[in-house]
């Protein structure tokens, strides 16, 4: 039984095509994956991300709890600050990757992947047992709408949303509260596209109304977007996707996420092992010539024809015009410039190891 987000009826009315994702019926595209991708890079795109899991953590020991339960230092966050974090297993494998927002002195909001909602909630609640803290799965209470792209901020400014601080002062990886009519909203400067953008949390009954207001505020400058372009956008930005680049079988060290592990903390789940590899393979970026893209699970070979890795994500990059991919390869092939080969359904595609990300926006304004 697949679930629907609070915006499902809106998507149907607006002509979206749907796909099953993490147990939800989600818009995969409205019109064209490529047009939606380019709109986010050049203008603004509107996404329904209400499938994402929201987990609220409250209590006098919430700082100590999160520093124990997660990989980095969440106690150090100022009110209104956000941080990318990892929920690790005892053996250092990745249970989920998360964004953690500090909403107040004793209150945090965690956004987890929809596909990991239950395991993330279970792990956090189990780790909360020894702390004076409450962990609550509030996923069904919240709708999440992302407005991404260089025009995102100006569109929100012309929408009927009032915030506690001027939107221009909301710095990267910060969140602020506000109101939409009589209703509470949270607006964060976060995203998963490699573009500047904002994410808007609104209680589910008001989701449709906020979505419509944003469409009206954006007018011709705003493009409705599905999950297909979200995947190519995050791939260009070199951002990992759980189930592809991240899993229980890899440690943060292998995924290039050692900086998300603060091993100097006294005690946390996965301490020490998180910086140890679980195999001799590491995550790299690959690029190719032509138009044919490596895809997830295709073998990666060295010049002698020996399999030395596997693709985790790949596509013809809409922004760059050439094929890009991420792959786990044996660590002695990780240097940028290394020439490798991908077996694309029986054909050999030459690829070159390259630095991640493939694409960075030109300027972060604040």
List residues binding another protein (CB under 8 A).
17, 28-29, 32-35, 37, 228, 231-232, 291-293, 295, 315-316, 318, 345
Q: Name 162's bridge partners.
A: 179
Q: From CA 309, how far away is CA 341, in angstroms rounded? A: 10
Query: Please, what is the minimum distance in Å from the beta carbon of residue 136 to another protein?
Result: 35
Give the shortest CB-226-to-another protein separation in angstroms.
9
Q: Which residues contact 67 (CB under 8 A, 6 or more apart)?
A: 73, 74, 75, 265, 268
Q: Which residue lies nearer to another protein by CB, 19 or 61?
A: 19
CB of 355 to another protein, least distance (A): 22
Q: Smaller CB distance to another protein: residue 71 or 232? A: 232
Q: What angle do CA 32, 38, 39 make, to 5 degrees?
A: 85
CB of 290 to another protein, least distance (A): 8
Biggest CA–CA distance in the chain, Å, is 66
Nearer to another protein, 54 or 195 (CB): 195
Measured from the CB of residue 353, what is the shortest distance to another protein in angstroms? 22
Q: Rounded to an integer, what distance in angstroms lies between the CA atom of residue 110 and that of residue 115?
A: 15
Pick from 123, 146, 136, 124: nearest CA to 49: 146
Length of the chain: 366
Number of DSSP helices (H) and strands (E) in the chain, helices first? 7, 21
Query: How far apart (Å, rounded) are the C-alpha atoms in residues 101 and 74?
Result: 9
| CB closer to another protein, 57 vs 315 | 315
166 C-beta neighbours (distance < 10 Å), count? 9
26 or 57: CB nearest another protein: 26
> How near is the Cβ of 33 to another protein at its closest, in Å?
4
Q: How far is the CB of 321 from another protein (least distance, A)?
A: 10
Nearer to another protein, 48 or 67 (CB): 48
75: Cα separation from own chain's centroid: 22
Nearer to another protein, 99 or 288 (CB): 288
Q: Are the C-beta atoms of residues 219 and 248 closer than 8 Å to each other?
A: no
Q: Which helix (H) or strand (E) holds 202?
A: strand 197-203
């Amino acid at each position: 039984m697949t679930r629907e987000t609070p915006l499902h009826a809106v998507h149907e009315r607006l002509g979206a095509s749907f796909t099953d994702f993490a147990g939800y019926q989600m818009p995969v595209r409205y019109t064209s994956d490529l047009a939606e991708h380019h709109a986010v890079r050049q203008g603004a795109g509107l996404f329904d991300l209400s499938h994402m899991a929201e987990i609220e953590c409250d209590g006098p020991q919430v700082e100590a709890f999160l520093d124990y339960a997660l990989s980095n230092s969440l106690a150090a966050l100022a009110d209104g600050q956000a941080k990318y974090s990892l929920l690790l297993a005892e053996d250092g494998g990745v249970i989920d990757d998360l964004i953690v927002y500090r909403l107040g002195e004793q209150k945090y909001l965690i956004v987890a992947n929809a596909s990991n909602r239950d395991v993330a909630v279970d792990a956090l609640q189990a780790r909360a047992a020894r702390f004076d803290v409450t962990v609550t799965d509030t996923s069904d209470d919240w709708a999440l709408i992302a407005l991404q792209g260089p025009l995102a901020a100006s569109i929100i400014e012309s929408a009927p949303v009032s915030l506690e601080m001027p939107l221009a002062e909301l710095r990267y990886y910060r969140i602020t509260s506000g109101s939409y009519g009589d209703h509470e909203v949270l607006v964060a400067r976060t995203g998963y596209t490699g573009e500047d953008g904002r994410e808007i949390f609104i209680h589910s009954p008001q989701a449709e109304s906020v979505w419509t207001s944003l469409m009206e505020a954006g007018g011709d400058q705003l493009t409705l977007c599905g999950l297909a372009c979200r995947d190519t956008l995050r791939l260009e930005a070199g951002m990992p996707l759980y189930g592809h680049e991240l899993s229980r079988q890899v440690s943060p060290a292998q995924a290039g996420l050692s900086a998300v592990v603060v091993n100097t903390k006294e005690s946390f789940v996965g301490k020490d092992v998180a910086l140890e590899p679980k195999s001799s393979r590491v995550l790299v970026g690959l690029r190719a010539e032509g138009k044919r893209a490596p895809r997830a699970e295709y073998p990666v070979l060295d010049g002698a024809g020996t399999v030395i890795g596997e693709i985790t994500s790949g596509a013809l990059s809409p922004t760059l015009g050439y094929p890009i991919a991420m792959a786990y390869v044996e660590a002695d092939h990780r240097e940028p410039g290394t020439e490798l080969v991908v077996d694309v359904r029986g054909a050999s595609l030459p690829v070159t190891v390259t630095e991640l990300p493939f694409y960075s926006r030109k300027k972060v304004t604040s």
